[in-house]
Amino acid sequence: MSPVTAGVPPEIPRVNGELAFDALWESRAFGLAAAYLASRDEDWARFRRHLMDAIAEAPPDTPYYEAWVTAFERLLAGDGVLVTAP
Amino acid sequence: MGGMHGFGPVEPEAGEPVFHEPWEGRVVGLMIGTGAAGLRRGSIRPAIERIDPATYLASSYYERWARSVEAGLVGAGTLTEAEIDARAATGGARPARLEHDSPELVAPIRAFLDSPQPTSGAPAAGAFAVGDRVTVRRMAPEGHHRCPRYVRGATGTVARIEGAWPHPGDDRPEAVYSVRFANADLWGDDAEPGSVTVDLWERYLT
Amino acid sequence: MSDDGHRGAEPSPIERRVDAIESLLVEKGLLTTEVVDAIVETYEQDVGPLNGAKVVARAWIDDDYRARLLADGTAAIGELGFGGPEGEHLVVLENTPAVHNVVVCTLCSCYPWPVLGLPPRWYKSHAYRARMVREPRTVLAEFGTTVPDGVEVAVWDSSAEVRYLVLPERPDGTDGLSEDDLVPLVTRDHMIGVVR
């Protein structure tokens, strides 16, 4: 599987409003969290708690999706899916 | 399971195979597919929690999923226990694999994402009514909460009562109030005229 | 050799992290790339402010629908076929000659996805979240929006489970337009409330 790379292909259709993501990795981060929660039949409540914490802890202008990835990693670590490095 | 001890740290096995057994991968696909296609009744989580504790502890991760997918399918009437037992006993052919990607397999996932999810906004029977003046407790709560700092200690008016939802970390629905604050009461007399309405759980209010 | 078309500079640390998470979750069998792709595509193409614009245009044309929309946003929006995650409890806020509504989520980025899609970057920024509750007229002016002195600016902080959608006032001079012609007049920023 090839890793995703930065940059948004210009041909992504914008049928409904403007583009939702500024970079491809942001869309993957969103899709991964959504897919993971869907696979557990779970809504966004638990993830949102982690997201709020990550936003509150990070410097104010931390890009949103970086806080998102931090929140997702914590969720996965809490579920025992990933082990974070000591 | 929170707080139970003696099970050792969670460690991924070095060089862990994709699945220890092929059936584990099939469970994942069934989980997502049957959920998306509405073939199971109820959420996976309550089903997992209903598994008898002795079985739960002995089961592997994927085995617990398989049991709860099965319970959901039987609960929805999609399959019967007898059918499953009979097929498992006789063996039978492995399910046919599709040789190519199928858009129609992805469609149920889209439908799942588009359909309204069950809401827990049960009608509230709480302490406050529309029009009541309420004050937000000054607090530094432990754990997860959703009380914005800027309203703590402020007094406002209950403008709407939308329903009751479990507070983060709780199971029991608790009334949530849309409380309207005058800007001057939040920011002082120099503030712009206007209001801010914030949705607050009953436990935050007095 | 395949041509990725967009292999550019070395991946940034955050890109490597997201790649790693995706690879690990797929290897552990917890999800598939196809499911992730389908979800991303849904929120890039199918779910967006066009949905909300249709709701608003319907409300402008049909007074009974407008009344149902204000009484039970989720149900009325569901009549047009829109719903799903983050739309379980939708409340529609009516702009009037006396009140201009605007929505923020100070704690994170809560937003009515089924009618507006995913929120724009500025909505999630610290600046918007902190300032909209403190100095709304100033922030609105930065969007080019002036609210007359006689009109109250009512800010709504979606701090719990409700997701808010602003129903803007129908513009003057549109009486002759059909519902379809009204839809393009309604933008995402109208339905957040930063534009009027």
Work out the angle between the directed axes of helices C33-41 and B103-114 (0-180°, nearest 10): 50
Structure tokens at C78: 């569901």
Report the domain count for chain B.
2
The helix (H) or strand (E) run that includes residue A26 is helix A24-39
- The upper half-sphere exposure of residue B59, i.e. CA atoms within 13 Å in the direction of its Cβ, equals 17
d(CA B90, CA B107): 32
> B114: nearest CA in chain C?
C84
Specify the higher pLDDT residue, C75 or A42. Answer: C75
Residues of C with CB below 8 A from B195's CB? Answer: 152-155
Residue C53 confidence (pLDDT): 95
pTM (two decimals): 0.71
**Considering CB atoms only, which of A39, A80, A83 is closest to B31?**
A39
Q: Does residue A52 sit at the B interface (CB-CB below 8 Å)?
A: yes
A-chain CB neighbours of C8 within 8 Å are 5-7
- Nearest CA-CA distance, residue C47 and chain A, Å: 7
List the beta strands (DSSP E) in chain B. 133-135, 155-166, 173-182, 195-201
Q: Cβ–Cβ of B43/A41 closer than 8 Å? A: yes
Q: Please name the amino acid found at residue B133.
A: R
Instruction: Inspect the interface and report whether the beta carbons of A39 and C109 lie closer than 8 Å.
Output: no
Token readout for B121 is: 């906004």
Predicted local distance difference test score (pLDDT) of residue C47: 87
Whole-angstrom distance, CA of residue B145 vs CA of residue C3:
48
**A42 contact B CB<8A:** yes
Question: C85: Cβ–Cβ under 8 A, 6 or more apart, which residues?
Answer: A34, A43, A44, B113, B117, C113, C114
Interface contact flag, C121 A22, Cβ < 8 Å: yes
Last residue of a domain, one of B86, B114, B142: B114
Same domain, B64 and B110: yes
pLDDT band at C107 (very low <50, low <70, confident <90, very high): very high
**B168 pLDDT above the threshold of 90:** no
The shortest CB-CB distance from B144 to any of A43, A49, A83 is to A49
Examine residue A21 and state whether it is found in any structural domain, yes or no: no
Single-letter amino acid code for the residue at C19? D
Encoding tokens for residue A35? Answer: 């897919």
**pLDDT in the model for residue A41:** 81
Round to whole Å and give the CA distance between A30 and B206: 38
CB contact under 8 A, A19 and C44: yes
Q: Is residue A49 part of a domain?
A: yes
Question: Which of A2, A15, A52 faces C45 most closely, judged by CB atoms?
Answer: A15
Question: Does B143 map to a domain?
Answer: yes
- Residue B194 domain boundaries: 133-204
- Do B28 and C137 make contact, defined as CB atoms within 8 angstroms? no
Distance of alpha carbon C99 from alpha carbon B195, whole angstroms: 10
Are residues B110 and B39 part of one domain? yes
C21 touches chain B (CB under 8 A): no
- Residue A35 resides in a domain: no
Amino acid occupying residue B202: E
Please write the tens of the pLDDT for every residue from C20-39. Answer: 899 988 888 888 888 888 88
Inform me whether the pLDDT recorded for B178 exceeds 90.
Answer: yes
Catalytic member of C2, C12, C23, C109: C109
Q: pLDDT value at position C76?
A: 96
Residue B137 sits in the same domain as residue B101: no
Q: Does A82 reside within a domain?
A: yes
The position carrying tokens 């007095």 is: B206
A28 compared with B49, residue with greater pLDDT: A28
Tell me which residue range forms the domain holding A80.
Answer: 42-86
CA–CA separation, B80 and A42 (whole Å): 25
What is the distance between the alpha carbons of residues C110 and C119, in angstroms, rounded to a whole number? 8
CB C153 within 8 A of CB B192: yes
Comparing C-alpha atoms, which of C100, C102, C73, C105 is closest to residue C89? C73
With respect to residue B11, please indicate whether it lies within any of the assigned structural domains: no
Has residue B185 got a pLDDT over 60? yes
Q: Is residue B177 one of the residues assigned to a domain?
A: yes
What percent of chain B has pLDDT above 90?
30
Q: Do B98 and B139 have their domain in common?
A: no
Q: What is the pLDDT of residue B158?
A: 97
**B16 occurs within a structural domain:** no
Task: Read off the pLDDT of residues B121-164 as tens digits, 9 standing for 90 and up.
Answer: 566 678 999 999 999 999 877 677 799 999 999 999 999 998 99
**B32 and B79 both lie in a single domain:** yes
CB nearest A83 (choices: B10, B36, B168)? B10
Counting residues of chain B whose pLDDT is more than 70, the rounded percentage is 39
| Nearest-CA distance B77 → chain C (Å) | 24
In a domain, A46, yes or no: yes
Number of domains in chain A: 1
**Closest Cα partner for C55 from C97, C94, C110?**
C94
Residue B106 has pLDDT above 90, yes or no: no
Query: B123: closest CA among B165, B73, B86?
Result: B165
Residue B125 falls within a domain, yes or no? no
- Note the Cα B193 to chain centre separation in Å: 39
Q: Assess whether B57 and B101 both reside in one domain.
A: yes
> Does residue B179 form part of some domain?
yes
Is B58 contained in some domain? Answer: yes
Selected for mutation to probe chain A from C3, C6, C18 (highest A CB count within 10 Å) is C18
Q: How far is CA C67 from CA A3, A57, B15, B19, C56, in A?
A: 50, 42, 61, 54, 12
Q: Do B142 and B110 reside in the same domain of the chain?
A: no
> B51-55, B75-79, B98-102 — which is least confidently predicted?
B98-102
pLDDT at position B201 over 70: yes
Question: In this structure, what token pair is assigned to residue C99?
Answer: 């009140």
Which of C44, C94, C142, C159 has the highest number of chain B CBs within 10 A, making it the mutation to test binding with B? C159
Cβ contact C85–B192 (<8 Å): no
Whether residue B32 and residue A40 make contact (CB cut-off 8 A), yes or no, is no
* Residue B56 domain flag: yes
Which tens digit of pLDDT belongs to each residue from C128-143? 999 999 999 999 999 9
What's the confidence (pLDDT) of residue A29? 93
* CA distance linking residue C159 with residue A13, whole number of Å: 33
Coil, strand or helix at B186 = helix
Determine, yes or no, domain membership for A86: yes
CATH of the domain at B140: 2.30.30.50
Which of A1, A8, A16 is most worth mutating to test chain C (most C CB atoms within 10 A of its CB)? A16
In this structure, are residues C101 and C111 in contact, taking their beta carbons and an 8 Å threshold?
Answer: no
ipTM for this prediction:
0.90
What is the C-alpha to C-alpha distance for residues C112 and C27, in angstroms, rounded to an integer? 33
What's the one-letter identity of residue C38?
Answer: A
- Give me the residue from A38, A41, A80 closest to B45, CB to CB: A41
Closest residue, chain B, to C129 (C-alpha): B148
Cβ-based burial of B10 (10 A; exposed 0-12, middle 13-18, buried ≥19)? exposed
Q: CB of B60 within 8 Å of any CB in chain A?
A: no
Q: Indicate whether B42 pLDDT > 60.
A: no
Domains detected in chain C: 13-45 (no CATH), 48-192 (3.90.330.10)
For chain B, say whether A79 makes contact (Cβ under 8 Å): no
Domain of residue B33, CATH code: 1.10.472.20
- The pLDDT value recorded for residue B200 is 97
Shared-domain flag, residues B36 and B76: yes
Please give, one letter per residue, the 3-state secondary structure of chain C. CCCCCCCCCCCCHHHHHHHHHHHHHHHCCCCCHHHHHHHHHHHHHHCCHHHHHHHHHHHHHCHHHHHHHHHCHHHHHHHCCCCCCCCCCEEEEECCCCEEEEEECCCCCCCCHHHHCCCCHHHHCHHHHHHCCCCHHHHHHHCCCCCCCCCEEEEEECCCCCEEEEECCCCCCCCCCCHHHHHHHCCHHHHHCCCC
Q: Are B185 and B105 part of one and the same domain?
A: no
CB B194 within 8 A of CB C137: yes
Q: How confident is the model at residue B39 (pLDDT cuts 50, 70, 90)?
A: low
Q: In angstroms, what separates the C-alpha of C83 from chain A's closest C-alpha?
A: 14
Q: What is the pLDDT of residue B100?
A: 42
Looking at the domain assignment, is residue A36 inside a domain?
no
Task: Please indicate, yes or no, whether residues B38 and B69 belong to a single structural domain of this protein.
Answer: yes
Q: Are strands B133-135 and C163-167 parallel, antiparallel or unpaired?
A: unpaired
Q: A-C interface: how many C-beta pairs under 8 angstroms? A: 144
